[in-house]
Structure 1
Amino acid sequence: MSGEPKRNDPDRRQRIVDATLEVIAQHGVAATTHRRIAAAAAVPLGSVTYYFASLEALLTTAFLQLAAESSAAFAARLAEAQDRDGARAAIVDIIAESIWAEPRTLLLSYELYAFAARHPPVTAVMQRWMDDSRAALERFFDPLTARALDALVEGIGIHNSIDRQPLQRDAIREIVDRVAGA
């Protein structure tokens, strides 16, 4: 023993999860490794395997965090609505102001969809995210309309992220009104 006191690092696990999302955003799931995550988190490689039994367990934890953060931002904006008109305005804000569809979240979402398609147990992460979004929307809309609006939020966000002429707020408002029934 060197006589040095053992350092307590209560945030290490969380740093590993946060670093995992950064590595995925930078390199994609396919190129995400324990080594890259350890380097990004500034922790010894053994710490990654100490906290997570497998890379899939770590990826699932990271994607759960992403889903929770995104759902919270979505729900927070919808919670400000007092009625159906306010909910439609919130949906326009969520899409037009990139509350959900900020570039990093979109990129990570693409990775999550692809990962879930190849790892069926992870589809539960996606299902929870959709359930949370739909529950927030169902405060104001019937279940089928809530489902359509949820898909619309993601779809327009994805399209706008790569479209040469992204939809502007007025067009988004018109589409939301058509789907939600103005």
Structure 2
Amino acid sequence: MSPDASARGSRSGRRNDPERRERIISAALDVIAEAGVAGASHRRIADHAGVPLGSMTYYFAGIDEVLREAFTRFAVEQSTRFEERMSAASDRRSAQDAVVALIADEVMHDQRELVLSHELYTLAAREPVYRALTADWMRRSRAALERHFDPETARILDALIEGLTIHRALDDQPRDRAEVQLAVARIVS
């Protein structure tokens, strides 16, 4: 390689784009949120990411790898946010309030995350690799809850959170905060 090529960043003389792979993963999540897994193609994701179509096969072996990477990022981000919220709780009461806030302020109001969650659940129902991903997500959620609640209560709270996401997606009657507070209070009492 010539010294000039080295200085420019690659063997072809073009600068590397170290964030391109991450942009593709972010774009994949956006496309899935807009068009579902069925609408997530190499071309659509590349267009959304603003990268050449060839970048898709340069960074990923195929669309399945793009989807796995995207859903892995999504699940880790969700788990981390949940863990942070539960870690901030200083006692059982503040933990109960944190669960209510998580449900009422995040699960019930973020359409993008709702769609992404359900797209992931659909894949997990059919594909073991996605089932393992969602199982890990649930383990992390329960572990965060178990900082403040016994394992059985943590498992029931986790099921409530997941169940309410389904109701939020399908029910035309919105849930209000008071109803969520009552449900969580009944479970933790």
Counterpart check, 1:81 vs 2:89: yes
TM-score (norm 1): 0.92
Q: Which of the numbers 118, 122, 131 marks the counterpart of 2:130?
A: 122
- Consecutive unaligned residues of structure 2, counting only runs of 5 or more, are 6-11
Within 5 Å, give how 1:82-101 maps onto structure 2: 82-98=90-106
RMSD over aligned CA atoms reads 1.7
- Within 2, Cα distance between the matches of 1:131 and 1:101? 24
Runs of 4+ that moved beyond 3 A: none
In the alignment, the residues of structure 1 paired with residue 108 and residue 87 of structure 2 have an alpha-carbon distance, to the nearest angstrom, of 15
Q: What TM-score, normalized by structure 2, do the two folds share?
A: 0.88
Asked if 1:41 corresponds to 2:49, the answer is yes
The percent of aligned pairs where both chains have the same amino acid is 50
The aligned amino acid for 1:122 is: Y
Separation (CA, whole Å) in 2 of partners of 1:80 and 1:101: 21
The 5 Å alignment of 1:136-147 reads 136-147=144-155
Alignment match, 1:179: 187
Contact 1:74 1:99 in 2 (8 A): no
8 Å contact kept, 2:42–2:53: yes
How far apart, in 1, do the equivalents of 2:174 and 2:168 lie?
A: 5
Contact residue 78 and residue 87 of structure 1 kept, 8 A: yes
Matched, 1:52 2:49: no
Q: For residue 144 of structure 1, what is the amino acid of its counterpart? A: E
Question: Which segments of 5 or more consecutive residues in structure 1 lack a partner in the other structure?
Answer: none
The 8 Å contact of residues 84 and 141 in structure 1, kept in 2 or not, is answered as yes
